[in-house]
Amino acid sequence: MTEIEVKNISFSYEQKIPVLENIAFCAGTGEAIGLIGANGAGKSTLLKLLVGLDLGYTGEIRVGDVVLGKKTLAAVRKKIGYVFQDSDSQMFMTTVEEDIAFAPRNYGLSREETALRVERALEQVHIKALRDKSIYKLSGGEKKLASIATVLSMDPDIILMDEPSVALDPKNRRNLIRVINELKGIKIIASHDLDFIWDTCERTILIHNGRIVCDGDTEMILRDKELLEANGLELPLSLYIRR
């Protein structure tokens, strides 16, 4: 069973101002965890550290039985898929199929295995019809789903997503929620969209000023108006509608 364990992670940028302080949590197979917090809370930074985009932190990140570091970076990245907030930062080939096949090919998988991975990823996100479409002709919602497929082609045990619902229309947003809820493995989703977190995550971690304020059941946290407002957030819109 693959799990991710974060032990007392602290991180600062060049200005030496702490961005994250003593972050600690564990996630087990099958968990869907929302990371919430106001702008600048440290959500995106934490995701980048988990996938090894910056190793200048104190503390320890363990993926399965492997401790993240320079020598283990390649091994850890085989287990973790990272979906960028900006899909244009993630996709650069000519067509959707070529982009999804890029990672398996570069990791030395055979042509046959790569083709199987591409087919499976397209099916998982329900975009087989986009196989031959140019990346530059995709809508925002299509591009987001395609970027998720590029990650799924590596069959990761852990998927990290940074603001996956940004700029999506209602139809694509609903489709993305369905796709995420069908995915296996560990999912950690950073988002300002608390309704999206409500619909996709059973557990939520609230971060404020680089520290974990609360870690627990999503519904309990997202219904706590005083807790959210004290940390620069508001109740999910759907709760106001239900009232």
Print burial letters for 167-184: b (CB count within 10 Å at least 16), e (below 16): ebeeebbebbbebbeebe
Q: Cβ–Cβ contacts within 10 Å for residue 98, how many?
A: 17
How far is residue 118's CA from residue 150's CA, in Å, rounded to a whole number? 8
Decide if 234 is inside a domain.
yes
The residues pairing with 18 across neighbouring beta strands, listed in sequence order, are 12
Decide if 50 is inside a domain.
yes
What is the structure's pLDDT at 241?
59
What is the structure's pLDDT at 200?
96
How far is residue 131's CA from residue 142's CA, in Å, rounded to a whole number? 11
What is the structure's pLDDT at 85?
86
Provide the residue-wise pLDDT of the chain in tens; the chain has 243 residues.
Answer: 569 999 999 999 876 788 999 999 999 989 999 999 998 899 999 999 999 999 999 999 999 999 999 999 989 988 999 998 888 777 888 899 999 999 899 888 899 999 999 999 999 888 999 999 999 899 888 888 899 999 999 989 999 999 998 878 888 889 889 989 988 889 999 999 999 999 999 999 999 999 999 999 999 999 999 999 999 999 998 776 554
State the DSSP code for 116. Answer: H
Contact, 175 vs 135, CB < 8 A?
A: no
Range of the domain at 24: 1-79+191-243
What is the structure's pLDDT at 227?
96
What is the structure's pLDDT at 237?
81
What is the structure's pLDDT at 168?
82
Question: What DSSP string runs through 115-162?
Answer: HHHHHHHHHHTT-GGGTT-BGGG--HHHHHHHHHHHHHTT--SEEEEE
User: What total of structural domains would you count in the chain?
Assistant: 1
How far is residue 7's CA from residue 25's CA, in Å, rounded to a whole number? 7
Decide if 223 is inside a domain.
yes
Task: Give the CATH number, domain containing residue 219.
Answer: 3.40.50.300
Q: How far is CA 170 from the centre of its chain?
A: 20
